[in-house]
Amino acid sequence: MERPAAAPHDPAEPDRAGTRLTITSPEQMRELGRRLAKLLRAGDLVMLSGELGAGKTTLTRGLGEGLGVRGAVTSPTFVIARVHPSLSDGPPLVHVDAYRLAGGLDEMEDLDLDVSLPDSVIVVEWGEGRVEELTEDRLQLVIHRAVGDTTDEVRHVTLTGLGTRWAEAGLATLTA
Give tens-digit pLDDT for 47-60: 999 998 899 999 99
In a domain, 176, yes or no: no
* Extended strands (E) in 45-88: 45-50, 81-84
In a domain, 7, yes or no: no
Residue 101 confidence (pLDDT) above 70 = no
In a domain, 164, yes or no: yes
Alpha-carbon gap, residue 51 to 11, rounded angstroms: 21
Q: Average pLDDT in the 139-144 region?
A: 96
Alpha-carbon gap, residue 9 to 85, rounded angstroms: 37
In a domain, 78, yes or no: yes
At residue 23, φ and ψ (nearest 5 deg) are: -115, 135
Structurally, how many domains does the chain consist of?
1
In a domain, 130, yes or no: yes
Asked if 3 and 77 touch (Cβ cutoff 8 Å), the reply is: no
Can you give the pTM of this predicted structure? 0.82
Alpha-carbon gap, residue 19 to 39, rounded angstroms: 14
Question: At 108, which CATH number?
Answer: 3.40.50.300
In a domain, 118, yes or no: yes
